[in-house]
Amino acid sequence: MSRSGLVFAISAYSLWGILPIYFIALAPTGPFEVVGWRVLLSLVFCALVITVTRAWRPFATILRDRRAVLTMGIAGVLIFVNWQTYVYATLTGQVVEAALGYFINPIVTVFLGVLVLRERLNVTQWVAVGISIVAVVVLAFGYGQLPWIALVLAFSFGFYGLIKKRVGPKVDAVSGLTLETAWLAPLAVVQLVFVSMTTGLTIGAVSGWHTTLLLLAGAITAVPLLLFAAAARRLPLIYMGFIQYFAPFIQFVVGVVVLQEPMPLERWIGFALVWVALAVLTFDLVRGVRASRRVPTELI
């Protein structure tokens, strides 16, 4: 295990965990303006990173792969839906439900593997999926409606992961985000024009501190992705699997402790069931890794 990889992973997920605080600090900026600037400034930041690292030639090679470019366009749509939903949830006081979305994301990813990739689940994995479905039913009963924010976040990021898996190592983190935001740039411009014609843009109209925070949207979006990519190259999958729960756990704490969002009994029961499902899934992951390590020894 790489110590630097561990630092990169914890840093990435911790930054993702405190994102709600950053978005709340952008008030009175609305979710449409936040995401619009986030897309455009991420594109600018990625272009600067590619320039500094002198990676335009490899990026040009990726551009010649039409399939990869189109795939990144689909990924861009999915991440746009994810960003827009997440920022909306944060700015409307629904951080706990957003955290729920990222807690159930690993289970949704397993479920999508069955539906899309025709993968077969073992009994333990089916148990985890079943418990998570019960959790959603309990939460829906508690809310009086389906926890749609959590489900949109989990499924949009789950499909995003599947799309990124298709391009594999051909497209690195910076190039991928550059292509995704390039596809989304026209939509972001239209979104910002719409905001300027209705409620009015807030950038430069609130305070110098507010404008600075808003201009950092690109870096705050890209830096965790770069840290994550660095960690993924240095750490085994099992460690990444454990550390991925840092982000939703921090978001959950922010929602409950800092923002004091309501947590009725049904919500606690639903979250407890989700955590049990994650414990079952993690147990299966650990068992699978141990089994794969034993196989080469037995063959020798």
Instruction: Give me the residue label for tokens 């303006």.
Output: 33
pLDDT of residue 47: 94
User: pTM of the predicted model, to two decimals?
Assistant: 0.87
pLDDT of residue 299: 41
pLDDT mean for each 10 residues of the chain (300 residues): 80 90 93 95 94 91 91 93 95 91 84 76 82 84 82 91 78 88 96 94 91 93 84 72 82 91 87 87 74 52
pLDDT of residue 9: 85
